[in-house]
Structure 1
């Protein structure tokens, strides 16, 4: 599920031709006239104004005189900036740096479609993988290497985990985006440093929210990892003491995956129990501007993927290709439950994966390569919440693999 974006053709001098080019390149097709769209978008803000954030954090730093703070940098990421930007801060491997962010990346101003900065912000050290993506507007990276800290923005626009840009530079630079941030480089534990600053106040509640996140210490379920370009999955998905995987998402985009090679000839069936407390879309999910959903799915060796969704608006049994251009050729969605009547209750599902692949994809794949969990909520910025239990794949010879 790519969540790349483009500017409205009516903003910042971007022509309709450029907007269409960006849409096709980055994977999002939006209508140019959609008056009803505003009604389904949330009205929350993306954080404090840049000048307010900078003023507040500078005042706090001066007053706190924190011995934990080794150095800090204020930075901007603007439309014309190509990745990556060296902040002029050198970190040692294992050293922590906290980022506080504000701003927006606009998909379409006329449709009130935009992304929070934490969704598209990336950081790394010494120009090497892994890339860090906070997902939230505050986050703390642990340096993986000795060397300079670099930052960039990307809405699923990387060609690889090395941070090489896939989007043509002339299109990338036409994004309607500004991110303002502060990087706080700590001598020791980031939690201790943040507490020392909080004693003098906060900046748009970013310090308090980051301290709370650090103290929660959430981790991805064992065996799962973030899909390339989708970081911060541990803030969306976690396994509780009962073994259930919880999912809570609002204005974010997370896909986590678990490698699992199973031949289609073995007759694999995907089974799971699902308790959905809140669906994230106020309209049909088969349109790009309202393509917010919760899902479980499988990826095949040929690169295709098939995800199963619960929709309030689309009929059960409906199958459709992803409405985002870059994903339309590789992603298929199937509605396995419809309506609101059974929300908040546990429901059991089972799908014959080989049969679904044959009926709705029909490619050359001979096996499953991954199981996916997806929580996509950036377009309408509404909350989606659910739980998964008893995820398993069984085969015709009665082999059962718990996921």
Structure 2
């Protein structure tokens, strides 16, 4: 424990030093919100060719306070395509240069009890599944009480300075057509081009997989083929996402999780066991009791290190096991096999009876780095029984 404490102090000191250097040599914090954002977007949507495609447009400013869901003063119907273009940041710590941008923080729902949806990026479109008055909220990484957008009182949302400016457009004839007209009219910090690319070529979750609803949809994972095998490619930058595959597999002494992975780049170069540096890539098993055990690749922590997740909510359900940390193996395809029940007993406690999901996890939101990896040949094995996940 003393060693972990010393490591934490050293890590925070390094972060503070980096924050000071960035303050002396400031870099752009992404597209700026505010009056300039709204002025440009209002002019673009007012262009005759764009206005002909727009059913409704609304501008709202979102803060990370306790005010909750904000009415956008417009209604949507099932099937409507809505584009959200957003700019700005919330600051968790300016001293440590920790901020969260529009890429991860914009959620929508139709009606006061509609299912929550997150935008895939700072500029992207959604096809609405439900109808009613449209509501938005800015929600940096944290926890929901349910899929209808109730906030968990154990994780208060206030205290973060900053704001995100949002332009919400409901189209008459679909997002792609409307955004083509909008792109012809102009752009703001590349956000219109991003939205058009998202509408034309959306990055969908691989078949059979879905994003964990708590963190929302994203553009992190995509299916690929290579060497005659299916693969999932992961590319994360200033983002967070968990991809899930549902299973129903008994957890016995002989249960094994097998996979191959090639990690090309890690999103953090500091110990990942504290919240400000908890950026990593991993594969995990979720169990019937709600716990998950995640095998991660660390930049600095020793192989075999086990620690509870340092993030609120996740510290109750998630345990990390450092499986790889040898930088010389980056860029190589590696085959892994883990005795899941024995690992669970060592890392968590009394094992449950079943595995219910396999996860792929990518976090790069805290240090805003980039993580790149690929997965292949994921399977659960117990004797002669083999469940092919990928």
Change (3 A) 1:276 1:168: closer
- State the alpha-carbon separation in 2 of the partners of residues 52 and 174 from structure 1: 25
User: Would you say the 8 A contact 2:250–2:353 is kept in 1?
Assistant: yes
Tell me by how many angstroms 1:213 deviates: 1.7
Q: Which residue of 2 aligns with 1:34?
A: 12
Higher relative contact order (CA 8 A, sep 6+): 1
Between 297-306 and 72-81, report the one with greater CA deviation.
72-81
SS at 1:182 equivalent: strand
* Unaligned ranges ≥5, structure 1: 1-29
User: Would you say the 8 A contact 1:118–1:133 is kept in 2?
Assistant: no
User: Would you say the 8 A contact 1:40–1:283 is kept in 2?
Assistant: no
String of CA shifts for 1:108-150, please: whole Å, max 9, x gaps.
1221111112312100112344322124111211111222111
Which aligned pairs between 1:12-161 and structure 2 lie closer than 5 A? 34-38=12-16, 43=27, 45-66=29-50, 67-80=52-65, 82-154=67-139, 155-161=141-147
String of CA shifts for 1:228-272, please: whole Å, max 9, x gaps.
321123x10111134200100001110121221212126210111
Question: TM-score of the superposition, structure 2-length normalised?
Answer: 0.90
Question: TM-score of the superposition, structure 1-length normalised?
Answer: 0.87
1:178 aligns with 2:163: yes
- State the alpha-carbon separation in 2 of the partners of residues 44 and 400 from structure 1: 50
1:339 aligns with 2:326: yes
String of CA shifts for 1:52-106, please: whole Å, max 9, x gaps.
2111111112234421111100101124452211111111210111011111121
Q: Which residue of 2 aligns with 1:240?
A: 224
String of CA shifts for 1:31-69, please: whole Å, max 9, x gaps.
8x9342155678552312322211111111223442111
SS at 1:244 equivalent: strand
SS at 1:286 equivalent: coil
User: Would you say the 8 A contact 1:246–1:386 is kept in 2?
Assistant: yes
- State the alpha-carbon separation in 2 of the partners of residues 220 and 293 from structure 1: 20
Tell me by how many angstroms 1:303 deviates: 1.5
Tell me by how many angstroms 1:326 deviates: 2.6
Change (3 A) 1:40 1:109: closer
- State the alpha-carbon separation in 2 of the partners of residues 358 and 168 from structure 1: 28
1:264 aligns with 2:251: yes
Q: Which residue of 2 aligns with 1:300?
A: 287
Would you identify which runs of 4 or more consecutive aligned residues in structure 1 move more than 6 Å? none
String of CA shifts for 1:140-194, please: whole Å, max 9, x gaps.
111112221110122333101010111369x433332411110011001201101
- State the alpha-carbon separation in 2 of the partners of residues 325 and 185 from structure 1: 35
String of CA shifts for 1:349-369, please: whole Å, max 9, x gaps.
110101101111113511111
Q: Which residue of 1 aligns with 2:151?
A: 165
- State the alpha-carbon separation in 1 of the partners of residues 220 and 210 from structure 2: 12
Tell me by how many angstroms 1:308 deviates: 0.5
User: Would you say the 8 A contact 2:268–2:369 is kept in 1?
Assistant: yes
SS at 1:309 equivalent: strand
- State the alpha-carbon separation in 1 of the partners of residues 33 and 246 from structure 2: 42
Q: Which residue of 2 aligns with 1:230?
A: 215
Change (3 A) 1:168 1:343: closer
- State the alpha-carbon separation in 1 of the partners of residues 70 and 353 from structure 2: 43
Q: Which residue of 2 aligns with 1:13?
A: none
1:290 aligns with 2:277: yes
User: Would you say the 8 A contact 1:120–1:135 is kept in 2?
Assistant: no
